[in-house]
Amino acid sequence: MRIAVISDVHANLPALDAVLADIRDAGQPDAMWHLGDVVGYGPHPAEVVDRLRTAGALGVMGNHDAAAIGRIGTEWFNDDARTAIEWSTERLGAPHQAWLRGQPESRREADVTLVHGSPRDPIWEYVYSPPIARANFGAFETRLCLVGHTHVPLVFRDRDGRASAETPDDGETIELGSARTIVNPGSVGQPRDGDPRSAWLLLDTAACTATWHRVPYDVGATQADMRAARLPGRLIDRLELGL
């Protein structure tokens, strides 16, 4: 089974459309999975929900999604994030809210666990270091767990009780092998690894491989829509830096 995995779209429609085109160019996959934070930060919350719903994407709820539908309070977010979440909530119609509400905190598909943050704390925890990955290997039952939330492509493998980390490059294919592994595809709508291009990954469950892809998109178009919506300047500036 070939699965396109995306995460942290963050209401960035030009980025999502560039990724969807790249996924088609790579040969239509059997499924599309998303790892949450569909909305928040960006200027197109309703449009990205429509795209993912139409594409039949299966996924999980992120912290920004949970706040945008009122499931968690916005007091846990910094001022810029809170401003963007409150702006997003006003723009989500009943069908968009219902779709977001229907995303579980974790799910299991084809013997893979999907969460936004971490298996032991699906909404909030960031898996960004080997010690945190190691502490999470006991919190999921499948061999592979997909996470988002950090906006950085990463692979953590369980090596006899220790975790090793790898940072995959554009076009790199990683053999998943038999070790238990936590994999992060990176972010579609707000990459934070210094590369402003959108990230996604192709998971091949038969070949047991994951291949990372980076895709340029029209950052200026998203920034113009954010300016028109009067979203916070720091959120606009960071897109071109990939930070």
CB of 143 to Zn ion, least distance (A): 25
CB nearer to Zn ion: pick between 26 and 124: 124
> 37 vs 225, which CB is nearer to Zn ion?
37
- Report angle CA 2, 199, 33 to the nearest 5 degrees: 40
CB 77 within 8 A of CB 85: yes
Pairing of strands 154-159, 144-146: unpaired
**CB-based contact 231:82 (threshold 8 Å):** no
CB of 242 to Zn ion, least distance (A): 14
For 23: left if phi > 0, alpha if psi spans -120 to 50, otherwise beta; the answer is alpha
Q: To the nearest whole angstrom, how small is the minimum distance from the Cβ of residue 205 to Zn ion?
A: 25
Closest residue by Cα to residue 153 from 4, 3, 1, 7: 7
Least separation in angstroms between residue 68's CB and Zn ion is 12
Q: What tokens appear for 43 in the block?
A: 């200027």
Beta carbons within 10 angstroms of residue 30's beta carbon: 11
- Between 34 and 157, CB nearer to Zn ion: 34
Closer residue to Zn ion in complex, CB, 8/158: 8
* Least CB distance to Zn ion at residue 188 (A): 10
Residues in the chain: 243
Using CB atoms, what's the residue nearest to Zn ion? 37
Query: In terms of CB distance, is 96 or 151 closer to Zn ion?
Result: 151
Q: Which residues bind Zn ion (CB under 5 A)?
A: 8, 37
Amino acid (1-letter code) at residue 107: R
